[in-house]
Structure 1
Amino acid sequence: MSAAPLKVGVVGCGNIVEQYLATLPHLADVRIVAAADLDPARAEAVASRIEGARALSVDELIADPEVDLVLNLTIPAAHDKIALAAIAAGKHVHGEKPLAATIEGARAVLDAAAEAGLVASCAPDTVLGTGTQTARVAIDEGAIGTPIAATAVMMTPGHERWHPNPDFYYQPGGGPLFDMGPYYVSALVTLLGPVVSVVGAASAVRSERTIGSGARAGEVIPVNVDTHVTGVLVHESGALSTLVMSFDTVASRSSRIEIHGTTGSMVVPDPNHFDGDVEVNVLDSDGWAVLPPAGGYVDGGRGIALQDFVATGGAPRTSGELAFHVLDVMESLIRAAHEGRTIPVASTCDRPAPVPLTELV
């Protein structure tokens, strides 16, 4: 692994890149050196905003000897293809979630990285922020006793209402579970440990969606995924997590995680965000109390996993193994929903190490 700064090449300059550009240029140990996209104009637009960065083709970026790590921000269907090409070229890779659109593609990425002695890690890195990490500290210190249950809810009317090119959200690798589920399942595994089995149900109430913004507003696109998924995750620890992910509802006032233990209950902020208040209510107390930040990267944003890559010597907490287990949990949940039975989760992973409270300077 090369010494800091970690030199990053960004592949995929669509909507999500803006959130990464709000973080990466401000990280002391990370430097963007190149950008690539199937649309050269989008790559040029990104590179022009970063001193010293170059706009390249995808093949040129992957082959560029100056690039240490490929940041893979392509659509889910291309995640494994780009990751495998980067690994074959001797690059570490960090990708947007999911690790791949299928468990087979994800396994191929992890196997290739292991054989090459390289790191394959994956979003979401929201779990590294002060919200989830403060909850992790409190759980580890016994603030709510032994965790026995959790609820995780995400409900929206669908991303086509705001995204100008939402097609991939409604194709395999998308849908509410595979799009938003990684945030919630990654947080649940970070807080409660790996999952051993799942049971669930799913539905899709509409076969088409209408784009609501941008140049394609009014265009109708097909739906080929489940758009409402619910299930129960059985953790190795014995805790039971109830998960609800939907693109079919209007809204929810509880896009958060609640964890209930033998002596108290906890509200964990929205795992799609890096911060937020952690609240605890323990037996015989005066009610809910907000905990001060006790862990995580302060003021973190998307891309903080690359700082964690450097800080941990190339062993980021958002590991490929964690991402693989999260994908396996989600695929198993869909199988359980369609087959009407409990499905064992074949994979496992270590519960990621906690992040000390860390100021970014």
Structure 2
Amino acid sequence: MEPVRIGVVGAGDISPVYLNAITRSPALDLRAIATRDPQAIAEKATAFGARAVSVAQLLADEAIELVVNLTPGVAHEEINGAALEAGKHVYSEKPFALSLGAARRLADLAERRGLLIGSAPDTFYGSAHQAARKALDAGAIGKPVFGTSFLGLPGLELFHPSPEAFYRPGGEPPYDAGPYYTTMWINLLGPVKRVFSVSGAGKSERTILRGPRQGTPFPVTVDTTFNTVLEFAEASVSFIISLDVVVPTLRPGELFGSDGILAMADPMFFGGEPAVIAPPEPRMGLVTADQGFATPNRHDHTGRAVADYRGAGLVDLALAIRTGSRHRTGAEFIVHSVEVMEAIVRSATTNSVIDLESTCERPATIDLQSDAALIALTASPFDLAASAWAH
């Protein structure tokens, strides 16, 4: 397969992960990296065998087929739209857009131009989430009734050297960490029908805790805790996401069914230890090693070895461009996912139940035979030994 020629827009904290994923995959060919100040990224571009260019230069380059958008979320609609207008396919970091209207406009533009779009997160491609999906589909817990997910953090300033954007409109938790959870649930249960949410905030000001600006205060202008009910056709899910929990607390997800309980892995990673609890049998861990994207390739912030193959969705899109296959984060999936994010925030703002307008099919499961090319062409963007040293 001829590699898909790629230009990346944005060179922030997440860019090394994508640049590794692109340059290590035989399905992808990195040509250029663009920012507002190309000279500032010249060294990084050279290290990855690419040119440092302006956004306008990248979009005008006829050799580039696919734009990977790594800019902040508030810029995604503009950059994604400009790339489509320039005749490029688009793969974007989440969120693809900040509203249903914007997502629909971009999806319609792509369709009119005969272009494909894709979006992160792609962690549901991972072995743990695929094993959970297949166990559910096989009837391991009977009829699903309700689910829960909880993510509580003291704040993103613990991890990010420039956290201000996460505390402004468009950076709220449902748009940032929230998509990992909502896409996990859509993968399991299908499209969301209705949303109700309440929200609040614990602090009006926070302080940068790492990096060169450590100690710098900044204002909080949005709510930072969202308590949400997502209603699906077969079940409902209680989802709490908060940046006001003083001790990091993670309960990735449990789906309670008529005959058992499905315990999910952390949706921010590809691997994990999902399990089924179906009395009188003891808790049974699900086999994940035979699902693809299972081998640990980095360490998380606690030092635990985890599987993290960010870029699998990008390779899936590249295969769709070259072979005509159907990738898993296409326009329908993107539009619905964006509407769910927006509905969580809008429901809390308006104190109302939001009936969703869009829908989508559940993404196809990963099959070792039919998806052999996807698995083989997706490179690890991390080095396990190096991440252990860094940790």
Q: Deviation at 1:294? A: 4.7
Q: 2:246 aligns with which of 243, 250, 258?
A: 250
Q: 1:330 aligns with which of 332, 335, 341?
A: 341
CA distance in 2, matches of 1:41, 1:259: 50
CA distance in 2, matches of 1:163, 1:336: 28
Query: What SS does the aligned partner of 1:311 have?
Result: helix
CA distance in 1, matches of 2:228, 2:180: 16
**Does structure 1 retain, via aligned residues, the 8 Å contact 2:94–2:176?**
yes
Counterpart position of 1:275 = 271
Query: What SS does the aligned partner of 2:291 have?
Result: coil
Counterpart position of 2:17 = 19
Corresponding letter in the other structure for 1:18: P
Counterpart position of 2:327 = 316
Q: Deviation at 1:333? A: 2.0
Counterpart position of 2:27 = 29
**Does structure 1 retain, via aligned residues, the 8 Å contact 2:198–2:227?**
yes
Unaligned runs of 5+ in 1: none
Question: 239-248 or 138-147: which moved more?
Answer: 138-147
**Does structure 1 retain, via aligned residues, the 8 Å contact 2:288–2:294?**
no
Q: 1:232 aligns with which of 223, 226, 229?
A: 229
Query: What SS does the aligned partner of 1:22 have?
Result: helix
Query: What SS does the aligned partner of 1:256 have?
Result: strand
| 2:120 maps to 1:123 | yes
Q: Deviation at 1:288? A: 3.5
Unaligned runs of 5+ in 2: 296-307, 378-391
Q: What is the count of residue pairs matched by the alignment?
A: 357
**Does structure 2 retain, via aligned residues, the 8 Å contact 1:183–1:272?**
yes
Query: What SS does the aligned partner of 1:145 have?
Result: coil
CA distance in 1, matches of 2:218, 2:117: 33
**Does structure 2 retain, via aligned residues, the 8 Å contact 1:182–1:326?**
yes
* Superposed CA RMSD: 1.8
Cα distance change of structure 1 residues 267 and 309 upon mapping to structure 2, 3 Å threshold: same
Cα distance change of structure 1 residues 291 and 166 upon mapping to structure 2, 3 Å threshold: same
Corresponding letter in the other structure for 1:267: A
Q: Percent identity?
A: 38
Query: What SS does the aligned partner of 1:48 have?
Result: helix
CA distance in 1, matches of 2:70, 2:325: 20
Q: Deviation at 1:218? A: 1.9
CA distance in 2, matches of 1:185, 1:251: 23
Counterpart position of 2:103 = 106
TM-score, normalisation: structure 2: 0.86
Counterpart position of 1:133 = 130
Any residues of structure 2 matched to 1:38-117 within 5 Å, and which? Answer: 38-51=36-49, 53-117=50-114
Q: Deviation at 1:86? A: 0.5
